[in-house]
Amino acid sequence: MVDAGFPNFKTSFIKQTRRLKIDPRDIRLIILTHGDFDHVGSAKDLRELSGAKVAIHEKDSNNLENGLFNWTRGVTSWGKISRSILMPMIRHWGTFPSMKADIILDDEAFDLKDYGINGRIIYTPGHTMGSVSVLLDSGELFAGCLAHNRLPFTLHPALPIYAENLELIKESWRKLIDAGAKTVYPGHGKPFPSELIKKYLN
């Protein structure tokens, strides 16, 4: 499973797994793409529900271990404006229980074959300094917030409007495309072909 959603996501998660006829106990690993509240908020609840191990990069693990609210800075005009407008409300929603991850990732790729998955976790900093992505051998890429593809972020596939370092994001994308990324599943929005990101990398 990739990411754990907003805080208090447990009830919705149970409904969705029932609808899809998935037994949560079949989930063996929860990969957190980064330490922002909307991606780690229900990690503790979902680990307790599934029994799965939780993995996060060492550079974002402090957020998870201390329940720290994190929302990276705006790097576009709309990113800066929307962040300032939404911050009071989002900060209220962003409280989540702290926990220690079972697996602390480093900058080396993490092979997922032991979990029955043909793919690997790749270190892709830029949105946060501890961001990771999951690249399957099929070319399917679960990119977290390395890209956005829906409102209120963007109208079309694009680089994120919030980031620690936009140049690092571009480097991470070049690495992923060179590694065979074809279909991108962003953390926010519908999937899209990786070709649509190339125009942002020059």
pTM of this structure: 0.96
Flag whether pLDDT at 89 surpasses 90: no
Give CA–CA dist 186/150, Å, rounded: 10
Q: What percent of the chain has pLDDT over 90?
A: 96
Give the model's pLDDT for residue 93. 80
Give the model's pLDDT for residue 202. 81
The answer to whether 132 and 106 are in contact (CB under 8 A) is: no
**Per-residue pLDDT reduced to its tens digit, 113-164:** 999 999 999 999 999 999 999 999 999 999 999 999 999 999 999 999 999 9
Domain positions in the chain? 10-198
What is the CATH code for 10-198? 3.60.15.10
**Per-residue pLDDT reduced to its tens digit, 33-71:** 999 999 999 999 999 999 999 999 999 999 999 999 999
Q: What percent of the chain has pLDDT over 70?
A: 100
Which residues have a Cβ under 8 Å from the Cβ of 148 and sit 6 or more positions away?
154, 157, 158, 159, 160, 161, 186, 187, 188, 189
Q: Residue 59 half-sphere exposure, CB side, CA atoms within 13 Å?
A: 16
Give CA–CA dist 64/72, Å, rounded: 15
Confidence of residue 94 (pLDDT cuts 50, 70, 90): confident
The answer to whether 98 and 66 are in contact (CB under 8 A) is: yes
